[in-house]
Amino acid sequence: MDASTFKASIVALACWRAAPTDLHQAQLAVCQVFINRAKEGWFEGDLYENCAAFLAEETGGFPDPRDPQFGQLLIKLESVTSGMVTDKTGGAVYFMHRSEVPEKLAGVVTTTIGSLVFYK
């Protein structure tokens, strides 16, 4: 394994942990949020560092490599991280599960994908 593969695995794990029961589209949208944060300069503008910081706070399990949704996440992840896919989050830098959204959200909701609400 080289450094690039390791970093990609950390990004994939962070995306999966944010929405482990959602379809891969929601997990890929989470990746876009991490990319948007990097573009805004969070964690020195580094996608890997943004994902590592998320994982430091979001402990949890690990995906089953046989899960078809996780497989789709892995297949499509590079197209998102390379900028080949349009940002479906509307530039969001935050996300939360629908069940956790307060009545008055400090931000503008940009979209909802799966069980996640994206906002900035």
**pLDDT tens track for 38-57:** 999 999 999 999 999 999 99
pTM of the model: 0.95
Judge whether 80 lies within some domain: yes
Confidence of residue 58 (pLDDT cuts 50, 70, 90): confident
- CB crowding 96-114: b at 16 or more within 10 Å, else e: eeeeeeeeeeeeeebbebb
* Number of domains forming the structure of the chain: 1
Q: What is the pLDDT of residues 60-81, one digit of tens each?
A: 899 999 999 999 999 999 999 9
Q: In angstroms, rounded to a whole number, what is the distance separating the alpha carbons of residues 102 and 111?
A: 16
Judge whether 91 lies within some domain: no
Given a cut of 90, whether residue 59 has pLDDT beyond it is no
Residue 13's domain comprises: 3-85
Q: How far is CA 36 from the centre of its chain?
A: 10
pLDDT higher for 44 or 105?
A: 44
Judge whether 98 lies within some domain: no
Name the 3-class secondary structure at 118. strand
Task: Say which DSSP state 40 is in.
Answer: T
Tracing tokens 């805004």 back to the chain, one arrives at 40
Evaluate whether 33 touches 93 at the Cβ level (below 8 Å).
yes
Judge whether 50 lies within some domain: yes
Nearest to 101 by CA among 88, 119, 89: 119
Judge whether 15 lies within some domain: yes
